[in-house]
Amino acid sequence: MKLNVVKARTGSLWVRQGIRNFWRQPLALSGLFLLFMAIASMTSLLSYGGSFLGLMFIPVASLGLMAAAREADLARFPMPTMLIIGFRQGAAQSKKMVLLGFLYALLFCFVLVLSSMFDDGEFARMYMGGDGLNEDTVINEDFQSAALFSLFLYLPLSTLFWHAPGLIHWHAQPLVKSIFFSFMACWANWRAFAVFGLTWASIFLTTSLLLSLVSLLFEEGQLSMMLMLPAMLMLAAMFFSSSYYSFRDCFISEPLEA
């Protein structure tokens, strides 16, 4: 395995590849993302530590969604069990995945704790499922500052775990090395990832605006909400599909067979 540096425009290529790959298996990839969301929602309902367990599941679930995208890319049908593929390759890898999930959840919670400096923990409690979200909270400047601060810190945090699950699974890297090389790959290719992120942000924003315009044209406010959920579901599945191509292009050598 060797780190590969790509051009900035490759970021938009990853987006196009992910969208094109999604349409090879739209129902399977959408269904897998919906299953991931269902599992995350169910764990958050647990009385103690449910939200933390949900956060721990994110790295292995992101690997599963990327593995499903790889299956579609190879003209194979991704089965639902792909979502937990990180736990199906022996005890040693399962242990690394659990530790990776624990580190991710721990650092994410640390970010939320730091955000409490701005709004006395309002954003943190909302995110971890303790409090509901209402209009007064959203327009509160302290809440907005906490949310922006969390986003600012989450960006570097995400670089540590973006490639780490794939490096553990497909390249048999140790836990610490997988986190280190994930960060280095994102840093070395920051221009491509900037294009990647901005392109996806534009796609999500444009889709939301178009759906809002449709509801205005038909003078039906509920229409936008009805269309928004399936649209965002498909876009999220496309996003994870494109993340597989970002992983594949950042490292030279074919990953090990799943």
Work out the number of other CB atoms within 10 angstroms of the CB of residue 138.
Answer: 11
pLDDT tens for each residue of 180-214: 999 999 999 999 999 999 999 999 999 988 887 87
pLDDT tens for each residue of 208-225: 888 878 777 766 656 666
5/141: higher pLDDT: 5
Partners of residue 252 on adjacent β-strands: 2
The H-or-E segment that residue 252 falls in is strand 251-252
40/92: higher pLDDT: 92
Q: What is the DSSP string of 75-121?
A: T-PPPGGGGGGGGSS-HHHHHHHHHHHHHHHHHHHHHHHHHHHHHTT
Range with the lowest mean pLDDT among 24-38, 87-101, 141-155, 238-252? 141-155
pLDDT band at 27 (very low <50, low <70, confident <90, very high): very high
pLDDT above 90 as % of the chain: 66
Domain edges within the chain? 8-252
Arithmetic mean of pLDDT, 75-94 = 93
Work out the number of other CB atoms within 10 angstroms of the CB of residue 18.
Answer: 24
Asked if 143 contacts 78 with a C-beta cutoff of 8 angstroms, the reply is no
**pLDDT at res. 2:** 85
The number of helix segments (H) and strand segments (E) in the chain equals 11, 2
pLDDT band at 8 (very low <50, low <70, confident <90, very high): very high
Residue closest to 168 by CA, chosen among 25, 62, 14 = 62
Partners of residue 3 on adjacent β-strands: 251
pLDDT above 70 as % of the chain: 90
Tokens of 136: 């007064």
Tokens of 198: 């901005």
Residue closest to 100 by CA, chosen among 164, 43, 155 = 164
**pLDDT at res. 21:** 97
**Whole-number average pLDDT of the chain:** 88
**pLDDT at res. 221:** 59
